[in-house]
Structure 1
């Protein structure tokens, strides 16, 4: 009985949080998102596929870790300034949101820091294969918007760090208890990837995509499908794929 009560309210809270997200401007995380999903979202369509409770639990763990890292940020003396959830905005293409953290070091060097909470499998994948393109786009867009908003203060903002947090690391104590060797780097729940500002990427790919999304807002009907692995997790997959859903998702693996 108690389990069902918690399950019900967990799902309701998750859906309420999703509904509270503003749709009057384009978010940096939407730059690499399917334009069809974007169209459904900004036009107020209800999810045709609700997230699993396991997914909701994963998201909430991520939110809790973000809050914890915000508290830790205030303790770091090397930061001369630290702006948590820094508002960023680009008016021409109606793009904006919040950067997890923007800091200025004691020597005056500014950085964008983006927190990414992930499971053990994704954590290992990033360490082995590097940063996914969508994170590169997102951090570059944050840097671009900050440069536009505060040209004097952030004229030298040319570097961002994506800080990954493994939500399910294997503690070193487990290795020790089993008598197995371990390396500190292999058991740390944190891993950083440096991203250099790429003006060419911003001008030739990111801003044109931002302009396209603003155009999509004027469409009376959703844009064409863009089939990819992300379809498997789209909250509108049944609405988008219709009777072909099972067959298409099977083909996508």
Structure 2
């Protein structure tokens, strides 16, 4: 029996030569609408800063825009680069999105900054070494389970009555996979830029998995780059620059 694989998209809002930033941002809506019509499961928006050819610096804005113009497809972040954000603000933002579009929002979380050092300094980024602490704080705000002596235990998180959407951790190592499993999150392996094999990370994720509200069993995704073109010959040509950037050389 043939098993269908659910397909999803990640959009960086690329600004192509000869087009404007405004046009690239409008194209994110058109792509989400097409993916919705074709039956894709989700579309995620990346967070990158200081890159002139990429317009996806505010995934939450793109999520709200696309969700308002689609019907069934899941819309989410791929991902929120947590070191760049205060955890409470992430909870407020994604609770708001979950309340506006129930059952359709995903919260993908990454530990990288998504930019160069100077830009991250301007963002007041906390740095990836504090990722576990930030993730724990974010979950504690959402679950309202700070210890009674903790100074944040009396913080009123709003909007209330809405919880964060399903959380996915994005990574390319066994450590990130184990972390995802331990909190009952989904896991997305970044094979589109990692040379490491995905299987060991998936094994670590499954071994560490504990059921949660959103995920009763492990749920993993493999993220790969795909080049589409009208012909195989054109697709091979277009893939050349990507293969070069990843250090992939093909002979024959």
In the superposition, the TM-score normalised over structure 1's length comes to 0.26
Bigger fraction of residues in strand: 1
Bigger fraction of residues in helix: 1
Larger radius of gyration: 1
* Larger RCO (CA under 8 A, 6+ residues apart): 1
In the superposition, the TM-score normalised over structure 2's length comes to 0.26
